[in-house]
A and B are shown apart, each in its own frame.
Chain A
Amino acid sequence: MKINVTVNGTAHEADIEPRTLLVHFIRENLNLTGTHIGCDTSHCGACTILLDGQSVKSCTILAVQANDKTIQTIEGMAANGLHPLQEGFHENHGLHCGYCTPGMIMRASELLANNPNPTEDEIRWGISGNLCRCTGYNNIVKSIQYASAKMRGETPASTEPQFV
């Protein structure tokens, strides 16, 4: 089947099998390998992308369903430099192995679009569809808070680790 999709601002036309998963289309047809596969059953969130601005799990959507839609992946997060979320994850040690990070960032970007100043609890629930096996989530929460402050034009809290 022929589909037309705009990915990170670039229009693509492709001819694909209907069963092609959106994540495979993004990774293999478009060679955008920043979007990862972690579980196959829509539980881990590593494959999260934005479809028409909404965060979705691209392992559980068919590429044909993205016809005439726009997609944003981690590669399209910032045209120049870093997006505040990318910066936040770096500054606050919000990643270890980096495998869940793109999905986490894509999910967080919609979270902040809908709720520019989320509480810690709202952030935790907001990323409950994204598993991270490395960080224990504390610093992911902190990373998103950092981006949230920055995007609201405020000065983010210190990125130095706090110890008891």
Chain B
Amino acid sequence: MIAQSFNYEAPHTLTEAIHLLQHYGDDAKILSGGHSLIPMMKLRFASPAVLIDINNIPGLSDIIIDGDTIKIGALTREVQLEHSDLLKEHYPIFADVTKQIADPQVRNRGTLGGNLAHGDAANDHPAVMLALGASVIATGPDGSRSIDINDFFQGFYTTALEQNEVLTEIYIPVPPDHTGSAYHKLERKVGDYATAGVAVVLTMDGDICKNIGIGLTNVNAVPMRALRSEEFLKGKPLTDQNVKEAGKLASEDCAPSSDLRGSEAYKRDMGAVLVRRMIASALSRVK
């Protein structure tokens, strides 16, 4: 399998990258980890005329705490997320999710920014970011802007990024006390896209669920939050019955399609099961 010919640009600064994006317009695609894009090009499902490789731009792969925000560079590789002590301390959900993404070699290349910017509801980070209440920083010719993750995923493989913007950073809040998080996906074999996946981030006030974010993977055309489930649980104790109801609401609200991974009904049901299980798992990690 061999891609169609293209031009290759490898800018060393963000400004240069944005300039190239402006210059080439729709003919250009950004290359970061490349493990979604290059296979598509080899299969000739995608044939961009220009690839703008942003891997040589420094400063886009740091994980730092800045006040009450954790800032993660868009070029941060999955492997960094998996082993980051800072993230392990605050959000074990990152170790959960990265371990289940593809395989070690792919995780050596794949980036958080790429995973989000691809806009694929089958990718795992969108659900996690929705559960975390993240913001996405997009940098374009006029500087940077912050996009609420809830506004970021706009449609099938479509995001709020403008053609001339580069996704540069992801902001997530430092978790308040008594917060726990967890992610799991059902997969046909290790490294597969999710049959269904659920991310839960919750903050407790004693026995009461003070706040909760629930993101769903691959059970909807667009990455989605289980909003009704979240609303239902906020301010309530996480009893078996309440949690079960939250799962049911999520399964009603998602819109999976039947495919080789299973029927629509199966995926809805798995959504419900995983919502329950991930709430339990997140709860067990509250600290």
Binding site for B on A (CB under 8 A): 1, 17-19, 21, 40-43, 45, 48, 54-57, 60-62, 64-65, 67, 107, 110-111, 125-130
Contacts and interface: CB of A to CB of B under 8 A. Distances in A.
Given A56-B108, A61-B109, A125 B99 contact: yes
Nearest to B1: A40
By size class, the interface of chain B is 20 to 34
7 contacts: A40-B1, A41-B42, A56-B105, A57-B35, A67-B10, A107-B104, A128-B191
B8 A21 contact: no
Contact of B8 (A1, A41, A54): A1
Contacts of A129: 102-106, 191
Nearest to B99: A125
B38 interface: yes
Interface in B68-91: 79
Contacts of B190: 125, 128
Nearest to B8: A18
B273 interface: no
B60 interface: no
Given A61-B34, A129-B191, A19 B105 contact: no
Interface in B226-264: none
Contact of A60 (B8, B38, B104): B38
B39 to A, nearest CB: 5
Interface in B93-112: 99, 102-106, 108-109
Interface of B: 1-8, 10, 31, 34-35, 38-39, 41-43, 51, 53, 55, 79, 99, 102-106, 108-109, 190-191
Nearest to B50: A18
Contacts of B41: 19
A18 B105 contact: no
Contact of A65 (B55, B99, B102): B55
A21 to B, nearest CB: 7
Nearest to B42: A40
B17 to A, nearest CB: 15
A60 B34 contact: yes
A45 B99 CA distance: 17
Q: Indicate the member of A43, A45, A48, A60 with the most B CB atoms within 10 Å.
A: A60
Contact of A45 (B7, B51, B103): B103
Given A1-B8, A41-B42, 19 more contacts: A18-B7, A19-B5, A19-B6, A41-B39, A41-B43, A43-B191, A45-B105, A54-B79, A57-B109, A60-B34, A61-B109, A62-B38, A62-B51, A65-B34, A111-B104, A128-B103, A128-B104, A129-B102, A130-B103
Q: Indicate the member of A1, A61, A126 with the most B CB atoms within 10 Å.
A: A61
A48 B10 contact: no
A54 B5 contact: no
Contacts of A61: 34, 38, 109
A21 B105 contact: no
A125 B95 CA distance: 14
Nearest to B77: A54
Contact of B2 (A18, A21, A54, A107): A21
